[in-house]
Amino acid sequence: MNTVTIDGVTLYLSHPEELPLIWVGQEELMDQMMAAWLIVDKSDLPLHPRLIGKPGVGKTTLAYAAGKRIGREVYLFQATVDTRPEDLLVTPVISGEGKIRYMASPVVTAMIRGGVLVLDEGNRMSEKSWASLAPLLDDRRYIESLVAGVKVKADPGFRLVATMNDDASTFEIPEYIHSRLQPQILIDFPSAEEEHLILKKNMPFAEEDLLSYIVSFLQLAHHSDERYTVRDGVNIGRYAMKLAQADRDQGKTGQGVTNYIHQAALQILGEEALIYLPDLG
């Protein structure tokens, strides 16, 4: 396990994420991310963009892919209603030898190593937790861990992006944090062509008729302002294929995969989603 010593205190660092996430389509959103992180002068600092959108539209995927695109290690911190300041910064644990080890969070590790931090679902955190990040999000670019008794400054390469669901805000984000998390980048549903590409990327083993059927379902739902996303489409498609394979394994034949979509949609999204399924006839 990697360590670093700051003011005589040894911090044990977290590991970066290695995820199979690839951003497909909506390249203008990636351009906005890249612009926010740019440095245009030696006295300039990167911005901390805030990605906002419905669950499942790809906020985390965009954030992760952006970090990879600039060639940095990417660290993910999943915020929850129980997140404490020490969870965000440094947590003391008892080692096997009975000694205290100070474990640096993904936040602090990304700061030290000049990586990218994805603060996922940040609007689930309380103001007390956000307050511990305030000096990191302005031109001071440091955090102070009261638990470990150290101040950690961010490497110049450090970048941060926060994701927030527009329907899952457990706490109001304080105004002084709002002003530090800019710009806001709004992520909406992809176009039909982009959804097809995303589905193909996530289900390369799926037949074209299944992908096209799911795209038609999603587009009908979007036009009615339903919140179903391409993530739902992937889940429906994968489950439909599994149902079809299970029947084939039992010697049942004669039905195409699209005939299993009804059951898959019912079990994944509920009966209200069925009205958006195109007629197979």
SS3 for 90-120 is: EEEEECCCCCEEEEECHHHHHHHHCCEEEEE
CATH 1.10.3720.10 corresponds to the domain 3-187: no
Q: pLDDT-derived band of residue 278, with 50, 70 and 90 as boundaries?
A: confident
Which residues, 6 or more positions from 82, have their beta carbon under 8 angstroms from its beta carbon?
Answer: none
Task: Determine the pLDDT at residue 263.
Answer: 92
Work out the average pLDDT over 134-143.
96
DSSP 8-state assignment for residue 154: P
pLDDT one-digit tens code per residue, 94-126: 877 778 999 999 999 999 999 999 999 999 999
Helices (runs of H) and strands (runs of E) counted in the chain: 10, 11
159-165 sheet: strands from edge to edge: 74-78, 116-120, 159-165, 50-53, 184-187
Domain ranges of the chain: 3-187, 192-276
Is residue 225 classed as helix, strand or coil in its secondary structure?
coil
Tokens of 26: 């909506």
Task: Determine the pLDDT at residue 254.
Answer: 61
Task: Determine the pLDDT at residue 169.
Answer: 61
Measure the CA–CA gap between 109 and 55, rounded to whole angstroms: 27
Is residue 45 classed as helix, strand or coil in its secondary structure?
coil
Task: Determine the pLDDT at residue 62.
Answer: 94
Annotate 188-200 with b (16+ C-beta within 10 A) or e (fewer).
ebbeeebbbbbbe
Measure the CA–CA gap between 213 and 261, rounded to whole angstroms: 9
Query: CB of 118 within 8 A of CB of 77?
Result: yes
Tokens of 44: 């300039």
Work out the average pLDDT over 166-180.
82
Query: CB of 28 within 8 A of CB of 37?
Result: no
Q: pLDDT-derived band of residue 280, with 50, 70 and 90 as boundaries?
A: low
Burial class of residue 68 in the structure, from the number of CB atoms within 10 Å of its CB (0-12 exposed, 13-18 middle, 19+ buried)? middle
Is it the case that residue 211 has pLDDT exceeding 70?
Answer: yes
pLDDT one-digit tens code per residue, 3-21: 999 999 999 999 999 988 8
Query: What global pTM score does this model have?
Result: 0.85
Backbone φ and ψ of 147, nearest 5°: -65, -45
